[in-house]
Amino acid sequence: MFAPLTKRDFASASTAARLYLRPTAFIDRPHELDDACLRIADTMLWFAAWHISLRDGAHIRSAVVAVPDLDEWIVAMPDALAEGAGAQRAALAHPRGALQLGDRTIRLAEPQIMGILNITPDSFSDGGKHIDAAAAIDAGFAMGAAGAAIVDVGGESTRPGAETLWEGDEIKRIEPVVAALAKGGVAVSVDTRKAAVMEAALAAGAGVINDISALRYDDRALELMAASSCPIILMHAPSAGSNPHEGGDYVHALFDVYDMLAERIAACEAAGIARSRLILDPGIGFGKGVGENLDLLNGLALFHTLGCPLLFAASRKRLIGALDNEAPADARLGGSIALHYQAADRGAQLLRVHDVPETRQALRMWRALRDAALTR
């Protein structure tokens, strides 16, 4: 499937060929390379080369090109590919700024933590732990105190095999928790794919909508979000139906997920939702096997060329158990930390996790290493 790419290959590329630019050769001391490296948006990450992939049907050709040499490669491309390459480079460099959620300003120049608060009896890891509203509220405040910039409240489990919950019951679960946390100064997102739940969540004080269907499940969701002003997380799942894990038939998972999210960005923009409001999540574990999940993490930096902040969510997921002798969900802390640290090192701005204090400590180590490299 893969072969080396040369400039001459562009001459024979079909009109359906797609080009992908992924940052690679990350460096710790950019001041030593002057103009031979680029910064990813306004993050603390710099890179010295592009991994260029040309996808033409089932064939993929790739090359690693030093940052200063990309212009020479663009000159050799047909107009459509050259235009796409220029757009991807510009999107990567565009600052992501900050999320303004009520009185809270969440700056995206370094990784931020999103704490997971499931108010469900059947979530794969913490089902039943916070089903009582008072317990959920206490847990949400504890997450904020422990370092979560955002608390992500969910009222419906989307684990494999979970039953679809009626939207009225979902609203009853999340509404009092969202209202109490928001009133107490916590920045809240709500994990839902139903327009009625989105409406209730925003009315209760939520500042972000996190939709695992990327606004495809509910016909009203796109229009509703266009009429709002909140940030929206678009996650990749192979199915927009009741079971988001159905499907998952990939030719190349990294590029297939990238293409789907690019299409959803275009659909949102066509509906009047500015790209600046969108956050992207590649959907680790949703209709993807171990190899596909690892491909997404290894290639995570590719998604920066879509011009949106990235959210990474692999906390306690099946991937970790599959790689560690079927470790149960409550014994996956080490794997969760390792995966999210790697995501931070590839520029993910938001890390959605169950274990907030432990992840916060890992990110402090990450920040200390970056600071030391830049100042010594």
Q: Any residues with CB less than 8 A from the CB of 310 and at least 6 apart, and which?
A: 279, 280, 281, 282, 300, 303, 304, 343, 347, 348, 349, 350
Contact 159, 185 (CB under 8 A): no
317 a catalytic residue:
yes
Residue 315: C-alpha distances to residues 66, 121, 132 (Å): 34, 18, 22
CA atoms within 13 A on the CB side of 328: 3
Element containing residue 74 per DSSP (H, E): helix 70-75
Contact 67, 49 (CB under 8 A): yes
Phi and psi (nearest 5°) for 305?
Answer: -75, 0
Contact 271, 223 (CB under 8 A): yes
Distance separating alpha carbons of residues 332 and 315, to the nearest angstrom:
8
| Secondary structure (3-state) at 39 | strand
DSSP assignment letter at 310: B
Distance separating alpha carbons of residues 304 and 94, to the nearest angstrom:
10
| Active-site position among 317, 318, 332, 346 | 317
360 a catalytic residue:
no
Structure tokens at 102: 């009520």
E-only strand ranges, 68-135: 98-101, 104-107, 112-118
Residues involved in catalysis: 317, 352
